[in-house]
Chains A and B, each alone.
Chain A
Amino acid sequence: MEEIRKQILKYLEKNSRADLGELAVLLDSDEVTIANELAQMEKEKIICGYHTLIDWDKTGEERVNALIEVSVKPQRDKGFDKTAERICNYPEVTAVYLTSGGYDLIVTVEGKTLMEVSRFVSGKLSPIEDVISTTTHFILKKYKDHGTLMFQKNKSERMLVTP
């Protein structure tokens, strides 16, 4: 990949709010180049979205996340794709990964309450034709998400002026 693209992506991955002018300065480029590369990478679906990492626990808003291991019976020619794509369609589902190990898919689900998520698993996910079994893990606390610490780090004890 071109160096400038790599640099843009690496930067945006940590801070998607950086504006064109700022990116141009930090990456030693110019705004037009950055804008063109961004537009092109959006078109190519290299950049798939600009999301915000939110700690909902701090808002008082009820949110429950679960990580569900799913065993799936693969289909001739299609493997796991058809079932995975089907699971993706539910708005409750926030991520679907094909994984190695004891299970086939990892599905993350978000709901308002434990009950709501449980109902989704028993009512929607498990009954899917090729789903053999599921194991649900409710997420109790997020320590780190998307490479970002979700807890307060100790304040720096660096002295204010040193040679």
Chain B
Amino acid sequence: MRDPLSKKIVGIEPSGIRKFFDMVSEMPDAISLGVGEPDFDTPWRVREEGIYSLERGRTFYTSNAGLKELKVEIGKYLQRKIQVAYDPDNEIIVTVGGSEGIDIALRAMLDPGDEVLIPQPSYVSYLPCTILANGVPVVIPLKEENEFKLTAEELKAAITPKTKLLVLPFPNNPTGAIMTKEDLEPVAEVVKEHDLYVLSDEIYSELTYKDDHVSIASLPGMRDRTLVINGFSKGFAMTGWRLGYICGQQRITEQMLKIHQYAIMCAPTNSQYAAVEALRNCDGEVQQMRTAYNQRRRFLIHEFQKMGLPCFEPFGAFYIFPCIKGFGMTSEEFATRLLDEEKVAAVPGTAFGECGEGFLRVSYAYSLEDLKEAVGRLGRFVERLRA
């Protein structure tokens, strides 16, 4: 029989998290700090709207780019949150989670050989999606000494004549790093100078704990060079609804829409109706969740300090990225032993890129009670290693 597979897909590594997931799954009594989604239920008013849309029989396709009503709300929301105006009719596409946005953006923008700059540690899909879109991923390893922000110098050093696109994943999974306006400005200058585009993945934009999130799209001259990805999964605790959106200038969105049209058709209809309610009436719920995350974040930082686990203070998403280099183990060894010996699951930093070596992603999308128990076990483990 002939080989049924494409060489391209066979050459792509499966997500490093998968292996860890399998190990944890066999340990029913393990406490996990390994989750990348909120512990909160979707706000009830949003769920109710989803139920109501089903009761009303809203079980049909929507237009390809999404419900008009939702796109209008997304436009208003982005105007309010990042002060960038997008035309709901031509510049916003409602997608199946933020993930689809990553895929269709790369596929719409890349020709074979085009280089995509991917700062790491970062979410697992930018690199394989670039390869699937026939682009060439170029990793920029971010440094702890810069609090895992991207600097203009690092960006400049990675640019070649083939560079077309920069992925900008802040607030960041897995490090929790954010980039402020002051951090973004010099990066934007380099982007303009070298005539690049930016894919700004802002899925955690609701979850910042110092200043409000700033989008690079809001900086002078950057709107039409940027595609903004956002969605409902993290801020509104709606991961399973699979709903996100991507916004940018019409010249790009109309090409992305073709891919979306042929591959997806439209995002789930009842999720879209529910999301309208999320954008209209959930500021209070989002604020409550943000407050709870922030308290847990402070708790973990405090506990890690007590344990002597070095860690920069992250101000975004719901992750802390402590350094475990002092224990003379790889991240994977550390995580595996922590799981075996104390039944605590945390994801090795290397799952998010090689430069995550020496770090551990600890999620605080857990109740304070769970975190207390997990931190107690982690403390015991660390003490034993030092003994």
Establish whether residues A163 and B124, one from each chain, have CB atoms under 8 Å apart when the complex forms: yes
Chain B CB within 8 A of A95 CB: no
Establish whether residues A163 and B20, one from each chain, have CB atoms under 8 Å apart when the complex forms: no
Chain B CB within 8 A of A46 CB: no
What separation, in Å, do the CA atoms of A161 and B338 have in the docked complex? 15
Chain B CB within 8 A of A156 CB: yes
What separation, in Å, do the CA atoms of A115 and B24 have in the docked complex? 56
What separation, in Å, do the CA atoms of A133 and B131 have in the docked complex? 78
Chain B CB within 8 A of A27 CB: yes
Q: Tell me what chain A mostly uses at the interface: helix, strand, loop, or mixed.
A: loop
Establish whether residues A160 and B24, one from each chain, have CB atoms under 8 Å apart when the complex forms: yes
Contacts of B34 in A (CB 8 A): 160-162
Contacts of B15 in A (CB 8 A): 163
What separation, in Å, do the CA atoms of A158 and B351 have in the docked complex? 20
Interface residue stretch chosen among B89-97, B242-250, B295-303: B295-303
Interface residues on B, range: 20 to 34
Chain A CB within 8 A of B123 CB: yes
Contact check: which of B24, B39, B299 meets A158 at CB < 8 Å? B39
Minimal beta-carbon separation of A127 from chain B (angstroms): 44
Chain B stretch 79-136: residues in CB contact (< 8 A) with chain A: 123-125
Establish whether residues B295 and A160, one from each chain, have CB atoms under 8 Å apart when the complex forms: no
Chain B CB within 8 A of A26 CB: yes
Interface residues on A, range: 10 to 19
Minimal beta-carbon separation of B305 from chain A (angstroms): 10
Chain B CB within 8 A of A53 CB: no
Chain A stretch 44-77: residues in CB contact (< 8 A) with chain B: none
Contacts of A85 in B (CB 8 A): none
Chain B CB within 8 A of A140 CB: no
What separation, in Å, do the CA atoms of A117 and B347 have in the docked complex? 57
Establish whether residues A160 and B35, one from each chain, have CB atoms under 8 Å apart when the complex forms: yes
Contacts of B200 in A (CB 8 A): none
Contact check: which of B24, B295, B347 meets A26 at CB < 8 Å? B295
Kindly supply a per-residue 1/0 record for chain A positions 82-116, scoring 1 wherever the CB is within 8 Å of any chain B CB and 0 otherwise. 00000000000000000000000000000000000
Establish whether residues A160 and B17, one from each chain, have CB atoms under 8 Å apart when the complex forms: no
Establish whether residues B298 and A161, one from each chain, have CB atoms under 8 Å apart when the complex forms: no
Minimal beta-carbon separation of A4 from chain B (angstroms): 13
Establish whether residues A162 and B36, one from each chain, have CB atoms under 8 Å apart when the complex forms: yes
Contacts of B351 in A (CB 8 A): 163
Minimal beta-carbon separation of A18 from chain B (angstroms): 9
Establish whether residues A28 and B298, one from each chain, have CB atoms under 8 Å apart when the complex forms: yes
What separation, in Å, do the CA atoms of A162 and B34 have in the docked complex? 7
Kindly supply a per-residue 1/0 record for chain B positions 7-36, scoring 1 wherever the CB is within 8 Å of any chain A CB and 0 otherwise. 000000001010011001100001010111
What separation, in Å, do the CA atoms of A11 and B296 have in the docked complex? 13
Chain A stretch 138-163: residues in CB contact (< 8 A) with chain B: 156, 158-163
What separation, in Å, do the CA atoms of A163 and B39 have in the docked complex? 14
Chain A stretch 7-55: residues in CB contact (< 8 A) with chain B: 10-11, 22, 25-28
Chain B stretch 276-309: residues in CB contact (< 8 A) with chain A: 291, 295, 298-299, 302
Contacts of B37 in A (CB 8 A): 158, 162
Contact check: which of B21, B39, B173 meets A161 at CB < 8 Å? B21
Chain A CB within 8 A of B345 CB: yes
What separation, in Å, do the CA atoms of A26 and B359 have in the docked complex? 24
Contact check: which of A25, A27, A160 meets B345 at CB < 8 Å? A160
Minimal beta-carbon separation of A156 from chain B (angstroms): 7
Contact check: which of A27, A28, A156, A160 meets B21 at CB < 8 Å? A160
Contacts of A160 in B (CB 8 A): 21, 24-25, 30, 32, 34-35, 345
Minimal beta-carbon separation of A143 from chain B (angstroms): 14
Establish whether residues B302 and A161, one from each chain, have CB atoms under 8 Å apart when the complex forms: no
Q: A25-B302, A27-B295, A156-B39 are in contact. Are A161 and B20 (CB under 8 A)?
A: yes
**Which residue in chain B gives the minimum CB-CB distance to A154?**
B41
Establish whether residues A163 and B299, one from each chain, have CB atoms under 8 Å apart when the complex forms: no
Contacts of A11 in B (CB 8 A): 295
Q: A25-B302, A156-B39 are in contact. Are A161 and B24 (CB under 8 A)?
A: yes
Establish whether residues B295 and A161, one from each chain, have CB atoms under 8 Å apart when the complex forms: no
Minimal beta-carbon separation of B343 from chain A (angstroms): 11
9 pairs from A and B in contact (CB 8 Å cutoff): A26-B295, A26-B298, A159-B21, A160-B32, A160-B35, A161-B20, A163-B15, A163-B125, A163-B173
Known contacts A10-B291, A26-B299, A28-B298; 14 additional CB pairs below 8 A are A25-B299, A26-B295, A26-B298, A159-B35, A160-B24, A160-B34, A160-B35, A160-B345, A161-B34, A161-B347, A162-B34, A163-B15, A163-B36, A163-B173
